[in-house]
Amino acid sequence: MEMDVEVQLLLGLNEESEEALRVVWNVAQKLRREHNIWVAVIPTHVLWSHDPLAIDAYQLPQILIDDEVYFTSIVPDPEELESLLIAIALRKKSRKGKEEVIEAT
């Protein structure tokens, strides 16, 4: 099964990180059910330092979509995230369709 969009979350040990993961997961499930868009959700807890102040300097949570940072230090609005993921998935599908037409000719 092919993935349409990859969302990586860099998470800390705070409530914002937990909420960001919950929002991304719920939006990914909704997109799969309602739009047949496959979203790979990859959560990663950042534990590079035992110093809580040092971890705060990383501005977590960070949300990367297809390797580009879109959100830093905030929990995304579900509707905004949904619209963004739909736009990215459609752009990728459109680009893939053009590549298939070029290969066929």
pLDDT digits (tens, 9 = 90+) for 68-81: 999 999 999 999 99
CATH of the domain at 77: 3.40.30.10
Cis bond leading into 43, ω under 30°? no
Which residue range is the domain that position 48 belongs to?
5-104
Per the structure, the count of domains in the chain is 1
Rounded distance, CA 80 to CA 33, Å?
A: 18
Rounded distance, CA 61 to CA 79, Å?
A: 18
pLDDT digits (tens, 9 = 90+) for 18-54: 999 999 999 999 999 999 999 999 999 987 656 666 6
pLDDT of 100 > 70? The answer is no
The pTM assigned to this predicted structure is 0.82
